[in-house]
Structure 1
């Protein structure tokens, strides 16, 4: 009886969140899914229950669209890996810093990058990496270039830098709590058995922090594959990814049906990536995930 009352209380506590998730996520996504099966018509948003596969055939029959899908996946995977390699050492340093003042200072540095709007942060990167930016001006002053600017923006490299700068704090925050939860005695036990500090780190700390690695990479992947602003500003419309196609189809051409099709495909790609990450991380962590 007591367990039943406790379960009811838990469900009551979760009800507002579940309703919000239902109304503002499941219903809109389901509507997009249904719209994607309607025939493409300019300016029509209503669900017409046609169940036509023409939009999906168009997507996979034209190279510009499925190449954008492959580019989006490759870009998100690359950004996830770079963010992990850059973020893990920083998260490890924050987690192992026992002095409260230093720990707070490091956390403020990480969180400060999230306080500014993303567009403002990207404009700052444009000042740094543009053809007339600080990096190119410094390179020209030092005589490293012959006057021709280094192409740091409006290409794939610029988009990667922008996405890593945007997603790195999320990776760090995903890792800090997990690393802090690893008891120091585990690494000390490994070292007492003859393992070096480096080997103990790879055999104990890294596998034990796999849940944080998984969640961080999933979060970074989702943010990177769905980003529209970063490829637009840092790529200059030259690095065409799925969100750009969605924007063009819906906002510029008013083709809601085909835009919804691209959105559904991107959503399915993200779900598939989650399953792959889950299986891979579970094997690497020895089934603890």
Structure 2
């Protein structure tokens, strides 16, 4: 009797293992379309772009010719016009990420901690409302607001506070403001989820023991929300450093970044190989900057990054 029960249990175990294996196989089948999409529309174009960057520059030639050369990268790192654009792109991306964090954290904290669902929903809708409009339309609206004859300068001139228009656009300030306006919702949404995951009982316990609100925020809420902070900061930085539309419109082609150089070389001059080299430098610069950021902040994350 015992042998029969043991045999039945063994058979059930084998059958169960087979069922788990078939389930895992079916799950991989579900992943296959997304995997093929990534390979076809991401990996292949990116690898082709990198291959073209090592090809000898030839105007109007798109396909890879196999003429290996370092001239494209040598030109980037020996001419100030191009290697200064690297530092300018990283600076603008870092500034936008920092400002988005300063502005977005209090807003995300209020949304996450609002007791009334209706109020939290309203605030979330206000955050998402700007994302419903196309980026170009939003930036043209900012140009109407911040231009030399825009609403801000016209209003300040009318009340006598300024005699000449303030330089709010076509400079780094205008580009940073545009990047913050475009990327702020991504920061807020990343922070809301992280703050909601914090157990409110921890904050209440600290308050009951005599800690001030600022001390609770600094020692409990902020450290526990660091995963959202890191995710939002990296997302904003990646979007800002690779932005083309914002520097083109808000910078007026005067704040030249790597994406603008890529557009000029490919769309205007037709030098696909050199444009591909600039794109490769932009990609590697973004990865390198994010890697340094993660390594610098991981020490204070307690293993949460």
Q: TM-score, normalised by structure 1?
A: 0.97
State the secondary structure of the residue aligned to 2:76.
helix
Matched, 1:108 2:125: yes
| Structure 2, gaps ≥5 residues long | 1-16
Matched, 1:17 2:34: yes
Matches within 5 A, 1:31-46: 31-46=48-63
Q: 1:16-57 deviations in whole A, cap 9, x for unaligned?
A: 211111111111100000000001100001112222111000
Aligned to 1:159: 175
Deviation at 1:247, TM superposition (A): 0.2
Deviation at 1:9, TM superposition (A): 2.9
Matched, 1:232 2:248: yes
Deviation at 1:163, TM superposition (A): 0.5
Structure 1 runs (4+) deviating above 6 angstroms are none
Aligned to 2:238: 222
Aligned to 1:4: 21
Deviation at 1:193, TM superposition (A): 4.0
Deviation at 1:86, TM superposition (A): 0.4
Q: 1:56-81 deviations in whole A, cap 9, x for unaligned?
A: 00100000000001000011001000
Aligned to 1:53: 70
Q: 1:166-208 deviations in whole A, cap 9, x for unaligned?
A: 0001100111111111110121233344432211111111111
Q: Please identify the structure whose Cα radius of gyration is greater.
A: 2
Q: How many residues align?
A: 288
Contact 1:210 1:281 in 2 (8 A): no
Contact 1:130 1:136 in 2 (8 A): yes
Q: RMSD in angstroms over aligned alpha carbons?
A: 1.2
Q: How far apart, CA to CA, are the structure 1 residues paired with 2:27 and 2:225? A: 29
Q: TM-score, normalised by structure 2?
A: 0.92
Deviation at 1:98, TM superposition (A): 2.0
Q: How far apart, CA to CA, are the structure 1 residues paired with 2:147 and 2:263? A: 25
Q: How far apart, CA to CA, are the structure 2 residues paired with 1:19 and 1:207? A: 39
Aligned to 2:8: none
State the secondary structure of the residue aligned to 1:22.
helix
Aligned to 1:211: 227
